[in-house]
Each structure stands twice: as structure tokens, then as C-alpha cells.
Structure 1
Amino acid sequence: MASRAIQIRKKPKQKKLVNDIDDFIENHHGLKSELWVDINDCFISSLKIDRKTKNPRYIEQLAEDLKTRQINAVVARENNGKYEIISGECRYEAAKLINKKLLVRVVDWSDDEAIATIISENEKREDLCDYDKARAYLEYRGKLSIRNFAEKYNLKKSQVGELFQLEKIPQAVCDALPMTKLRAKQFSDIAAKINEGGTYIDAFIHFSPLLLSTERTITWKEFIARVERKVNPPRPPTQQVLERHIFKAPGVKVASISYKDTEFKAKLKKPLTYKQKEQLQDFLEKLK
């Protein structure tokens, strides 16, 4: 079926107020390589695998924007009368949402050139998480080494190395942790621990709620420390250490302490402060 593409006019018509996208089409004058294309004649390229996680709210806001103007064209290759979008996936999704024509810049690129453009664009974007970036780059990698991949796409070898650590993390761990919020360096931390032994997998899954909770914040360093303590628990503290570091702290007055195996009971003369409760909680975690 022939494409319903409309070439942009070379000479401007008389200026008028822009009320909607149809008016904008008539008034906007882009490059010769740009076309206004029916949204049904466009599709996302199979090479465009970098955006696994999408923000519906952002798409809706962009759609409202596109009702009155489109400044930046999506980049696409012509493919059997259709337009295969290489860059501009969100604009495509937004235009599709409101069933409006899409401003398309037509290019004649090979797959390698298209992938290079996608990767180059990704490096400039702040809204793309490292998890989505890593999954896409691993699919683009083929048989390339970390060094060759970095050189081919003009990336830092250290950055690529950290991103590629994702392939060493079991899917069960990825499903449990908030991967879209983690950085590539943290992928390396997880992979390094898992490489030491399979028991770390259960530990990461066990403590994953700490990273998901909105009630209590925990640093990455504290999270890794807890994982480490679960896999390699420290020796139980002696009675003297327990009394000295918890109940003999300034402002804490103990009425009595009794011990039985791994349990203890303490009666305090005054309630613990919030900070002291936090210290006690952290201390008890080490005993688990």
C-alpha cells in the first residue's frame, strides 16, 4: 500500500494563528528530507530496544504538546512504503495516542548506523535508566568484547564493563530489586557478590524490601553490608560488648539484664530515644 506522506511546502503561506496540529502542518517549513506522515504508516524499528520502561504520564503530556506543535522530527527509514522509526519513540507513541500526523525525517541508514545513532542518543538522555540501557546494549553486543563494543560506539570501556555486569545477575534478583533505580556501578557490586557464592542470591532477595520501602531510607552501602552479614554473620557479641555498646550508652539507664542462650531481656529506667532504638535495631540485625 502506498504511503500517505505529505511533503512540506518549500514556500511559506501567509502566517496565521496556530490552533491545532493541522494548522501547524500548513505553517511549518522543515528540510526537504522531512515529511508529515500518517501515524498508521509508522512503526517502531525492531532495533529500537533501548526503552523497555515507559512513563505513561510523560507520553500523555507530550501528546498534549503535539496537539499544537511538532518542532523535532522523528528519524525513520523508509521500509516498503512505511516508515521505520529509529529515533523518537515517545513522540510516535504520543502522536498515536491522539491519532495525529507525525513529522518524520527520512534517512538511508544501515542497521549499524541506526544502532550507533540510538546509542549516541542514549548517552545524552537523562531519562533512560541504566537497567534499560544495559539490556539494550547487551542485545546489540553480539560477539563483541567489552573493549570492541566501547570502541565501535565511542563509549568508555569502564562504563560498558559496568553495564555488561547485568548479564551476571540472575533474573530472580533483577525481579526482586528495583533495578530501574540502580546505577551501573551497583550492577557491578551485585555481580561481584553473587560471583562469590550462590547464597548471596537469597540474601539480595531477602533484603530487597529495604530498597523498595518509602518509610525508611537505607544507603546502598548499608544495604550491601546487611547482605554481607546475612551470608557471613559476625560472631555473637559477648555480654560485656552488649552492655557497653547498647545499654551503657550515655543517657541509657538499665534496671536489669538477664540472658538465656541467644536471648536477653532488659528493663530500662527510661524509654529509649528514637536514635537509641535505631542503634539497637541495627545491633540486633547483626545477631540474626
Structure 2
Amino acid sequence: MSARNLGRGLNALLGDADEPAQQPQGVKTVLLSDLEPGSFQPRRVFDEEALSDLVESVKTKGVIQPLIVREQNGGKYEIIGGERRWRAAQRAGLREVPVLVKNFSDKEAMEVALIENLQRQDLNPLEEAEGYRRLMEEFSNTQEELAQAVGKSRSHVANTMRLLALPEKVKGYLETGKLTSGHARALLTSKDPEALADTVIAKGLNVRQTEKLAQDGIEKKPRKVQPKKQSDKQAECDSLAADLSRALGIRVAIRSKTVGGDLILTYETLEQLDGLIRRLGASPAAGRQTSDTLTAESADEGDTLSLDGDDIGEVVFDGSFSDSLDGDTLSLDNIDK
């Protein structure tokens, strides 16, 4: 059957109601014992409560809408559409029901059975998904063609078919109505959908809460922390700091920056500070102020000497300290040993 006919739905297969001349076989009444369930029935679960309501309706009003059947050998009829009505009629104690006999091929019988249930919204999400799958795989329909046939969006068809990938346990919850299709789609992203499904049911979580739990349970790959590679410039500065520390007898640190850098001289006593100042050509008196903090500006503008007046302090040169670097190499020639 072409996609165009499939898109017309049941009318394309059953014939238009206002054209009885085109129907070689019409409505007739047959015994319930002459009807057999169809081999193409997509429904696997029959809701007992809904079926009981239908039984009460059949008891009072009978079967109003004929079952769709095709004739079999031996005077029997295969039910293509209307198995619930047939079951309800049995429980209601009826002996016969009205049927519409059609000459369907196997392909047409399957299409009618699936489309009728899909358009009636009588299927649970898994039955709907399986119906879509069969129509696509057995009749080579695309998702777009199938969506047009059943009056759904292509994304609805695609998302519904994804439910077939769920574990069997979760499928069971979906078939019995313990989980909705929204819950089930959220579980598809979970690392352990079965365990999460049990949690959702036990706590009565809604779809949004289920989605959050599913996302939280996804293992995030730890970001690899690359070891910080010491630049060649900083490595040379560390080597120069060690040489300068041996020359001055105090701790020395050199911190390289994009432009220039910091030279940090750490002293433990004021005597060490006096000796350091003398070596750098400064006046000893400049190291003593009542605030115990010394700031001396060198001849080159921007060099700042900061002294903390505790027993242990630091001398920090910044800014034009880079002037003492010749090609990123610090010279110790100007230090008076």
C-alpha cells in the first residue's frame, strides 16, 4: 500500500461510508463463537477496569460499532479491529455481534489493526512504539510518512520508538501504567534505568524529578589536569635566585612575569637588612624608620624597595627589575661581594 493510502488512515482501507456500492461485503451479524482474535493485534495489555466499563455499556446498549473482520476458512472470521468489543460482548453474555467483513491482505490487515488502535489512543506507549516499528520495518514506511498516517508529529513517533530500548523490567512498569511515557523517556538517559525506575515508583516522583535524577547519575568524565609546565624563563630565574641567595646569604625568589618580574629578598634580622642595603649601595640609615617600614626608590624610576620591620622581612623589587635582565639573564656583576 502506498504512503498516500496509508496517510488517509482507515478511510483508505475501509472505503468511504457514503459509497456502499464499492463495498462487496457489508455489515452482518455473526456468532461470537465464529470470531477469532487477530494475529496482527498490537494490543498486548487489556486494562481490566476499562474493559469492565465497556462490559456494562454493552449490557445496556449492545455493540454499536461493528467489528472489522476478514473471512477465514471454515466459516470463521479473524478480528482485525474491535477485539475489546468482542471480549466485552463475551462477558456481557451476548451470542452475536455486528461485523464489517473486508477482503484484506495480510499487509492491509496489519495496517488497519495498528492504525485503528493508534488513532483511538487505546494503546499503551510500548504498544504504540511496537506498532510504529512494525509499520516502518514491515512496510518500509519512513517516520515522516508514518507520522502523517496517524496524525502525530515525526518527533513524537521517534521519541516513542526509543522506548523499545528500555530494559524488560522497565517496560513492564510502562505496560502496567506504573510509569508514564515521560518517565520512561527520562530513564533512557540513566546509567541504571531499572534501579531509577524503582526509586521513581517508590517515591512517586514526577517527570521533572526523574529527569534530574537521571542526569545526576550520569558519570562525568573527570577532566584531566595537565601538570603545570615550568617555563624555560622561570626555570632560569629559579637558578639565578639560587646563585643570588648564595651570594647574599639570604633567601631569594624571582617570579617571572610576561613583562619583567619580581625579585624578593627575605631577611631575618635588621643586621642582615643593613648588610643587604650596603651591598646594594644604599645608606644604612635609610633602613631605620620609626614605622619599621622602608621604601627606597632607586635611580631608575619604578624600582620600589619595601621593608617589613619585624624580625623577618622581605625586600621586593618590581617594575624596572626587568632592566637587570639581559636577554632574560640576570647578571650578578654589580653586586659587591
TM-score (norm 2): 0.49
Shift of 1:109: 1.6
Q: Is 1:157 aligned with 2:154? A: yes
SS of the equivalent of 1:105 reads strand
- Count of residues in Structure 1 that have an aligned counterpart in Structure 2: 194
CA distance in 2, matches of 1:95, 1:163: 32
The CA deviation string for residues 182-220 of structure 1, in whole angstroms up to 9 with x for no partner, is 5556554433x25xxxxx12xx2223234324xx54221
SS of the equivalent of 1:96 reads helix
In structure 2, the partner of 1:107 is: 102
In structure 2, the partner of 1:22 is: none
CA contact (8 A) 1:77 1:84 kept: yes
Which of 82, 88, 112 is 1:94 aligned to?
88
Structure 2 residue identity aligned to 1:218: L
CA contact (8 A) 1:37 1:104 kept: yes
SS of the equivalent of 1:85 reads strand
Which of 55, 60, 63 is 2:55 aligned to?
63
In structure 2, the partner of 1:209 is: 198
The CA deviation string for residues 89-137 of structure 1, in whole angstroms up to 9 with x for no partner, is 1111012222521111111122222233233323332442212211233
CA distance in 1, matches of 2:200, 2:124: 16
SS of the equivalent of 2:49 reads helix
In structure 1, the partner of 2:16 is: none
Q: Select the structure of larger CA radius of gyration.
A: 2
CA distance in 2, matches of 1:109, 1:32: 12
CA distance in 1, matches of 2:196, 2:182: 19
Q: Percent identity?
A: 23
In structure 1, the partner of 2:210 is: 223
Which of 71, 88, 99 is 1:78 aligned to?
71
Q: What is the root-mean-square deviation of aligned Cα atoms in Å?
A: 3.3
CA distance in 2, matches of 1:67, 1:94: 9
CA distance in 1, matches of 2:123, 2:174: 18
CA distance in 2, matches of 1:145, 1:170: 26
In structure 1, the partner of 2:136 is: 141
CA contact (8 A) 1:159 1:184 kept: no
Structure 2 residue identity aligned to 1:117: V
The runs of 5 or more residues in structure 2 that have no matched partner are: 1-23, 223-337
Which of 46, 56, 68 is 1:54 aligned to?
46
TM-score (norm 1): 0.57
CA distance in 2, matches of 1:223, 1:229: 10
In the TM superposition, what are the counterparts of 1:167-206 in structure 2 within 5 Å? 167-175=164-172, 180=177, 182=179, 184=181, 187-191=184-188, 193=189, 200-201=191-192, 204-206=193-195
In the TM superposition, what are the counterparts of 1:200-279 in structure 2 within 5 Å? 200-201=191-192, 204-213=193-202, 216-232=203-219
The CA deviation string for residues 250-287 of structure 1, in whole angstroms up to 9 with x for no partner, is xxxxxxxxxxxxxxxxxxxxxxxxxxxxxxxxxxxxxx
Q: Is 1:37 aligned with 2:21? A: no
Query: CA 1:134–1:209 in 2, change beyond 3 Å: closer, same or farther?
Result: same
CA distance in 1, matches of 2:77, 2:30: 8
Which of 152, 163, 166 is 1:166 aligned to?
163
CA distance in 1, matches of 2:72, 2:50: 28
SS of the equivalent of 1:123 reads helix
SS of the equivalent of 2:120 reads coil
CA contact (8 A) 1:87 1:118 kept: yes
